Amino acid sequence: MVWHTVSFPLLSSQSCIIQYKGTHMALQMSIGFLFMGGGRASLSRSKESIAALLAACFPRFPKSIDDNQYHLQPLRHLWVMAVSWRGLKAVDADTGKDVVVPLLVELDACVDYTAETAHVPATKRRIVTPCLLPPLKDISCVCINSERYYPNKWAIPRSAAVY
């Protein structure tokens, strides 16, 4: 039996720039943030969440596996405190399968994600499920905007909003 070896010069340690443990940690954390919750979660914008993210992404990454001078491993897991589950999917009551439903989301006044103005009147956004909702504290109501499904409207009271 003859074994053939394949060489990947770009992946060998002789041809690559030296990569530290912190480089791998930063890349793994960024991929984790990107695919957080399978696309059903997002990062919150509250002060507590931002503080947790700052502690989790502290700028001093280790240079080696045993470098614990500036790196506290438990701090890396504080990003979980900043996760906000805002995924929305519609399920057909008869078949139990996921369906695509157009929605109309009405955002409160003074909430604008595109312009940098201070005061904006209440806006309506058209979205299609499955989707990520804007932060719940910014939503005043959600309406089904489809001829195929029963039109329903959910008003979100300010006292019930999750922050």
80 and 92 part of one domain:
no
Q: Answer yes or no: is 99 within a domain.
A: yes
Cis peptide before 130 (omega within 30 of 0): yes
Name the residue range of residue 110's domain: 87-160
Q: What does the pLDDT look like over 47-103, one tens digit per residue?
A: 999 999 998 887 677 777 777 776 677 888 888 999 999 889 999 888 999 999 999
Q: Answer yes or no: is 8 within a domain.
A: no
Token pair 């943030």: residue: 33
If DSSP codes are grouped into helix, strand and coil, which group holds residue 105?
strand
Q: What is the pTM assigned to this prediction?
A: 0.65
Burial class of residue 120 in the structure, from the number of CB atoms within 10 Å of its CB (0-12 exposed, 13-18 middle, 19+ buried): middle
Q: What confidence score (pLDDT) does residue 122 get?
A: 64
95 and 31 part of one domain:
no
124 and 101 part of one domain:
yes
80 and 94 part of one domain:
no
Distance CA(37)–CA(84), nearest Å, equals: 10
* Tokens matching residue 2: 């003859």
Instruction: Among 85, 101, 122, give the residue marking a domain's end.
Output: 85
Q: Answer yes or no: is 28 within a domain.
A: yes
73 and 114 part of one domain:
no
Q: What does the pLDDT look like over 97-151, one tens digit per residue?
A: 999 999 999 887 665 555 555 455 568 888 999 998 888 888 888 999 888 888 8
Q: Answer yes or no: is 5 within a domain.
A: no
Strand boundaries in 45-161, DSSP class E: 83-85, 87-88, 90-91, 98-99, 102-107, 123-128, 131-132, 139-144, 153-155
